[in-house]
Amino acid sequence: MLDVAKQLVTIASGFLVISVALLKVLLPNENGQLIAFWMIIGCWISIILSLACGFLAFGSVANTAHANSKYDIEAKWTKFFLQGQQILFALAFILFVWFVIENI
C-alpha cells in the first residue's frame, strides 16, 4: 500500500507538471473556454490534494514508527490518507480525460 502511495506521488507530480506545461495547447480559444478552464483547475486541485494526502500518509507512517517502534500502515490516519490519495488521483484523472474529450 505504501508503494502505491510512492508511485502515485511520482505520477501525480509528473501529471501536474505536464498539464501545466501543455496548458496553451490544451486550453481552446473557443466559447467553451470557461468550462474547460474550470475542469483543468478542478483537476489540478485534485492532484495537489492527492499529493498532500500522499505526503501526510508518509508522515503518519513515520509518526507511528516513532511512537510504536514499528511501521504500521494499518493505522487509522495512515489508511485514511492513503485512501484519500487514491480517490483524489482517480478524480483528477477522470476530470483530465473529460477535459481532453471535450476539447478534441
Position 70 scores a pLDDT of: 82
Position 27 scores a pLDDT of: 64
pTM of the full predicted structure? Answer: 0.80
Per-residue pLDDT tens over the stretch 59-88? 998 888 888 888 777 888 899 999 999 999
Greatest extent of the chain over all pairs of C-alpha atoms, in Å = 58
Could you say which residues of the chain have pLDDT below 70? 1, 23-32, 104
The CA-based angle 64-69-72, given to 5 degrees, is: 40
What H or E segment, with its residue span, contains residue 77? Answer: helix 76-102
In whole angstroms, give the CA distance from residue 64 to residue 85: 19
